[in-house]
Amino acid sequence: MAKVLLKNVYKVYPGNVTAVKDVNLDIEDKEFVVLVGPSGCGKSTTLRMIAGLEEISSGELYIGDKLMNDVAPKDRDIAMVFQNYALYPHMSVYENMAFGLKLRKVPKDVIDKKVREAAKILDIEHLLDRKPKALSGGQRQRVALGRAIVREPKVFLMDEPLSNLDAKLRVQMRTEISKLHKRLNTTFIYVTHDQTEAMTMGTKIVVMKDGVIQQIAAPQDIYENP
Ligand code: ADP
Ligand code: ADP
């Protein structure tokens, strides 16, 4: 179903930088997979290839049973949450959350229902009229999550979504994103360089180094074999 499969995936950037080397990854439906490793190890590139934001140099990507290599991002049934939130500054929270559905010509009453449901889940109902600049970092991150939720994607992709938050909020949002995963009951693929974040959130941890997957294990097994 919402299975994600990477087969012998490589990414070579212009200038002959091989960012991802022969990555093989089999992600089951409803897993919370965390890609972890030091800066520059190819986590973000891997995620962006799944999202379709970066072309795959060679190898195959499947989402569900469908080969996705040449499928546009909007047709991949994924939603991505970025580190910098990527909210539209001139739009209200409501409009930010509704925008993607509007583009897809979803009826207004359906959009309204989805936006309000997502806002309720994320506890941002009282912020719907605000502009992003009038929000705290944590609130902005919730809006970014809300924008992903309303699309009801099969797969959620998150690239260091908590790294701009202060330590206390980061710990709180970890718990909330884990809860969100349980509640939505769908596949999450989450990138972080933070070991603790990886261990506390993932059901499966993928350790990368220099563009290569070093280890794939459940969090308790990573503890045993550091
Ligand atoms: P991470 O997310 O683990 O920090 P990245 O996937 O961002 O790692 O980067 C992996 C490698 O690819 C790094 O060496 C980085 O410098 C390089 N890289 C990333 N994006 C580009 C790009 N657009 N052009 C050239 N090299 C890039
Ligand atoms: P448009 O200007 O695109 O026609 P409207 O402003 O008329 O859109 O809004 C359509 C629906 O969206 C309204 O019924 C309302 O429920 C909802 N809506 C729009 N903006 C907000 C907002 N800031 N807060 C709460 N609901 C909103």
Using alpha carbons, select from 84, 64, 61 the residue that is nearest to residue 158.
84
| Average pLDDT rounded to a whole number, residues 156-176 | 91
The pick from 92, 94, 106 for probing ligand 2's pocket by mutation, whose C-beta has the most ligand atoms within 8 angstroms, reads: 94
Q: Which neighbouring-strand residues pair with 144? A: none
> How many CB atoms sit inside 10 A of residue 18's CB?
15
Q: Per residue in 8-20, pLDDT tens?
A: 999 999 999 999 9
- Tell me which ligand sits closest to the C-alpha of residue 124: 2
Report pLDDT for 2.
Answer: 55
By percentage, how much of the chain surpasses pLDDT 90? 88
CA 193 to chain centre: 14
49 lines ligand 1 (CB under 6 A): no
Report pLDDT for 85.
Answer: 81
Report pLDDT for 222.
Answer: 82
Q: Per residue in 119-148, pLDDT tens?
A: 999 999 999 999 999 999 999 999 999 999
Closest C-alpha to ligand 2, atom 1: 108
- Tell me which ligand sits closest to the C-alpha of residue 110: 2
Report pLDDT for 164.
Answer: 85
Contact 162, 84 (CB under 8 A): no
Closest C-alpha to ligand 1, atom 12: 19
The closest-lying atom of ligand 1 relative to the alpha carbon of residue 11 is 12
